[in-house]
Amino acid sequence: MKCIKDLRENDNLLQRDIANLLGIKRSTYASYETERDTIPIKHLNKLCNYFNISIDYALGLSKEMKYENLRPEINKELLIERIKTLRKENKLTQIKMASILNISRSTWTGYEQGKYQIPTLYLYEIAKRYHISIDYLLGKVDQNNL
């Protein structure tokens, strides 16, 4: 997450400042910045909103810092719809998608049913593999910008 560290430092902010913004410990935020831990999507979204950038840019998926009409909120209903559509358009069963992500079918089903929040790591893997915007999957934009 070099991008986030650079943005933070350019704004003369401390890790403590960002941790306070996210409501977490400084050490937890530091582990996100150094990539020892994966930042949860809700924290990443809040951070990207603060810096006015897209999630795709923050994760190195796009060179475009911000998309036109980028909404601040995650739309859980659109996320559910879009991951199902993506899976079906690629002619993948739930079992195959789960296998690609190295998770159980029931876990993937839980993501598609909205029972569980899909982790940032899996969204990133899906975005890279299928050339699709995480911001689009999350319903923050209306079109795939990748």
Which pairs from 75-78 meet CB under 8 Å and 24+ separation? 75/138, 75/139, 75/140, 76/114, 76/139, 77/114, 77/139, 78/138, 78/139
Average pLDDT (23-35) is 94
Assess if residue 64 is contained within a domain: no
Average pLDDT (126-134) is 96
Assess if residue 70 is contained within a domain: no
What the block records as the tokens of 29 is 């935020």
Residue 40: what pLDDT? 95
Average pLDDT (10-33) is 95
Domain that holds residue 20: 2-58
Residue 1: what pLDDT? 67
pLDDT tens-digit map of 32-83: 999 899 999 999 999 999 999 999 999 999 998 889 899 999 999 999 999 9
Task: For residue 47, give Cα distances in angstroms to 8, 29, 75, 87, 114.
Answer: 10, 11, 17, 28, 23
At 3, the pLDDT band (50, 70, 90 cuts) reads: confident
| Same-domain pairing of 87 and 120 | yes
Full-model pTM:
0.91
What's the structural domain count of the chain? Answer: 2
